[in-house]
Amino acid sequence: MAVHRLGIIMNGITGRMGLNQHLIRSIVAIRAQGGVTLKNGDRMMPDPILVGRNAEKIEGLAKRFGIERWTTDLDKALQDPNDTIFFDAATTQARPGLLQKAIAAGKHIYCEKPIATNLAEALDVIKVANAKGLKHGTVQDKLFLPGLKKLAMLRDSGFFGRMLSVRGEFGYWVFEGDWQEAQRPSWNYRAEDGGGMILDMVCHWRYVLDNLFGEVEALTCLGTTDIPERWDERGEKYKATADDSAYATFQLKGGVIAHMNMSWATRVYRDDLVTFQVDGTHGSAVAGLTDCVIQARQATPRPVWNPDEKRTHDFYADWQKVPDNTVDDNGFKVQWEMFIRHVCEDAPYKYTLLEGAKGVQTVECALQSWKERRWVDVPALKV
């Protein structure tokens, strides 16, 4: 069978996510395996051109991974008709303008989320892309985590019975940057630069909740800025103007209540950096990034409240680990392969920019709820 070249413009791949997940673990890995196999047996071989502002960094990455093409001139790259996909993982604030520019050049669109900082810009991008008949997608990476895939399997098997609630815990301590280097870039903590926990993470929870537990119908949210001063990459102190913690409750279609705690100012005392506990009438499950444990109603202990006696029961021992019956590839790589098949052979693909816009919509509702201190309805979104 034939091997076909697929030209991809990759913008913003010097950052943590763009470099590690999209370049190294996705496109470089796909090239190493010989491309993406289509239904007819042909293979599509990605031929990326790396785009960035720092010529030295971009050239270094190209040499490191055996990639022939790189440039600091995005406009020129967009003019090449032989490159059909534009990917962006740069800053959220710049994304809508970059996507509009790529769409005007006739490129199919794949990008990180949030796809914009406000819903109006997100919907404008979708309308223009649809009008030109271009394919588009947005990263929904957490759906491909082994732990969450196990939750989906449990749901589909009927394990939970009637699902009641979801409780999510996300976060870790991000060092302030003075006595220890921060693990996240400083712009994350400046609202004027597109930072903030709610903008960064609520869009994730939207697609996780929609796809696993029920469509989001309403929410209430409170944000806080727990660490008011931080130090940037140059060691200079700056004022943190964005929220670094948030607490949200969601009403889902079907009656499920979901609550998410998220913080970059919390110290981890749980099994993973993110965990989801799902309770149902027939059973409960707790999942992290990789593992998942379950407790069926037949195996549920009978606790009795007595604060006058020290607890001796090992509640953790009552849970059973879900076995690793499948070998899961990197989730970012899997979704890249799905999108490439969508572009090249019109394979089904549901994670379009509309799904990304739903995330932006939920962010706006969460910010409105925080500002107005009330529940906010999340209406069905159509373009």
- Residue 16: the pLDDT is 86
Domains of the chain (ranges; CATH) run 3-138+331-347 (3.40.50.720), 143-328 (3.30.360.10)
- Residue 354: the pLDDT is 97
Give the N- to C-terminal CA distance of the chain in Å, as an integer. 39
- Residue 1: the pLDDT is 77
- Residue 48: the pLDDT is 98
Going residue by residue through the chain, which has 383 residues, state the pLDDT in tens, using 9 for 90 and above.
799 999 999 999 998 899 999 999 999 999 999 999 999 999 999 999 999 999 999 999 999 999 999 999 999 999 999 999 999 998 888 999 999 999 999 999 999 999 998 999 999 999 999 999 999 999 999 999 999 999 999 999 999 999 999 999 999 999 999 999 999 999 999 999 989 999 999 999 999 999 999 999 999 999 999 999 999 999 999 999 999 999 999 999 999 999 999 999 999 999 999 999 999 999 999 999 999 999 999 999 998 999 999 989 999 999 999 999 988 999 999 999 999 999 999 999 999 999 999 999 999 999 999 999 999 999 999 88
- Residue 291: the pLDDT is 98
- Residue 92: the pLDDT is 85
- Residue 236: the pLDDT is 97
